Structure 1
């Protein structure tokens, strides 16, 4: 008998993804609502940009041959841009067009039949970087003796580029830049309600991420929405209804 495994949601991103379990963040909430249905795999790498994630992705996403022996990644959520949009004074900076090309590379790695990591069961969601609050971030950088390395309009441009890439590739995009900016009344200084330091999100910011991601899944991939999935193992009341046959009842099944 095969070991108990569940299909998964893979979160691929930078520190905003890595911190998805902080403050009851979006990853923690996903793990809760998908509990016993799909596992949430957090592959967030603090400080990374799309240049640096490409060789890492080749090592963490299974090849077609490996996929035959592993649970399926049903949803891949790609969330980059906050570091790519750093100003050229930082090594994290990735030029805008290369950022778009890198996102396209990640999408093709999963969706192209010619890719060694082609995964026809995987659905992709892109998320834009949130806006940066340069008022908060400037204070943080000054306190640490660092140069100012983020710009409000530059981050907006990278968010726009992610939306353009999503439209070109037919991939749904969670526009966090616009949603969080709107929630702040379209005032940069008011973004502090959703941020810890002007770049990273707090509980309220992550709540928007979770809500918008779930809405995007419901609209684009309803078959993967948590309310439409079954528990891999039945609920205990079904066991109690037929206790004599509990060993037969307690066989792993598909969540779909």
Structure 2
């Protein structure tokens, strides 16, 4: 194999994934934990829903015939719903049943042996959308130019979409990180207290992303312990065992882990 190719984790989602690259965001923390073990590919697209992502995912995720010189994706996380759960009539809205079907379709694209994107080595973890704080969010909408005076999201509707992810997880036998329950419990089951974790009622702050990171690492440890960073050796050996007498033989293979 020519060049340096390292296996990877792909983080697929909307702005909650895209925003995870902020300092101490879950993407940044994950990249640090898997440094020289797995590359972390952030594929978050702000504003996208589960319907719009398909033509994009088809370009992001290599077909089985294209994988010789690209990283094998060892873990795929799928985090959508914050936009799908906008109320009917909004541009980003996806009906709940279609949302669940879309999530299942994404899973099947990777898991189904008849799919051109079949990747048997790829583990999958789903995320629920977190709760929306409509108290904060309406203020965010009013501050825009032009301002919006009516909510485009509803607290209980987003909860229904979170429950939909749990249904898909059970149906497809895929682990789920339930960020909706995690944040709601952390906020003392009070919508107003979600302001501790949300910058504007919808998007997460650094403290929230720490919780997301910890929850994801717990899910990896419980479901896919073989790819937990503590169980993986580094790609290429530590410098202490390299010397001028052995470096060519030791470092010629990019797949070696020490």
Q: TM-score range by the shorter chain?
A: over 0.9
Report the 3-state secondary structure (helix = DSSP H, G, I; strand = E; otherwise coil) of the residue aligned with 1:113: coil
Cα distance per residue 1:39-78 (max 9 Å; x no partner): 0001100000001001111121111100233220110000
Partner of 1:120: 120
Mapping for residues 8-19 of structure 1, pairs under 5 Å: 8-19=8-19
Report the 3-state secondary structure (helix = DSSP H, G, I; strand = E; otherwise coil) of the residue aligned with 2:204: coil
Partner of 1:65: 65
Partner of 2:36: 36
Partner of 1:253: 255
**Are the aligned partners of 1:239 and 1:246 in contact in 2 as well (CA < 8 Å)?**
yes
Question: Which structure has more helix as a fraction of its residues?
Answer: 1
Mapping for residues 80-99 of structure 1, pairs under 5 Å: 80-99=80-99
How far residue 245 of structure 1 moved from its aligned partner, in angstroms, is: 1.3
With over 3 angstroms needed to count, the CA separation of the structure-2 counterparts of 1:255 and 1:94, relative to structure 1, is farther
With over 3 angstroms needed to count, the CA separation of the structure-2 counterparts of 1:155 and 1:33, relative to structure 1, is same
**Are the aligned partners of 1:23 and 1:202 in contact in 2 as well (CA < 8 Å)?**
no
Alignment of 1:209 with 2:212, yes or no, is: yes
**What is the aligned residue count?**
254
In 2, the alpha carbon distance for the partners of 1:26 and 1:190 equals 21
Cα distance per residue 1:113-171 (max 9 Å; x no partner): 00010001100000011010111001111222113101100000000000100110000
Alignment of 1:232 with 2:235, yes or no, is: yes
How far residue 254 of structure 1 moved from its aligned partner, in angstroms, is: 4.6
**Are the aligned partners of 2:5 and 2:69 in contact in 1 as well (CA < 8 Å)?**
no
In 2, the alpha carbon distance for the partners of 1:3 and 1:106 equals 30
Report the 3-state secondary structure (helix = DSSP H, G, I; strand = E; otherwise coil) of the residue aligned with 2:102: helix
Partner of 2:53: 53
In 2, the alpha carbon distance for the partners of 1:238 and 1:215 equals 32
Return 5+ residue gaps in structure 1 as ranges: none
In 2, the alpha carbon distance for the partners of 1:57 and 1:160 equals 24
In 1, the alpha carbon distance for the partners of 2:70 and 2:140 equals 43
Moved over 4 A (4+): none
User: Which range moves more in the overlay, 50-59 or 170-179?
Assistant: 50-59
Return 5+ residue gaps in structure 2 as ranges: none
Q: TM-score, normalised by structure 2?
A: 0.95
Partner of 1:185: 188
In 2, the alpha carbon distance for the partners of 1:254 and 1:223 equals 17
In 2, the alpha carbon distance for the partners of 1:65 and 1:163 equals 32
Cα distance per residue 1:195-254 (max 9 Å; x no partner): 1000000001111110000100000000111111111111111215xx421221224235
In 2, the alpha carbon distance for the partners of 1:20 and 1:151 equals 23
Report the 3-state secondary structure (helix = DSSP H, G, I; strand = E; otherwise coil) of the residue aligned with 2:124: strand
In 2, the alpha carbon distance for the partners of 1:254 and 1:163 equals 38
With over 3 angstroms needed to count, the CA separation of the structure-2 counterparts of 1:106 and 1:255, relative to structure 1, is farther
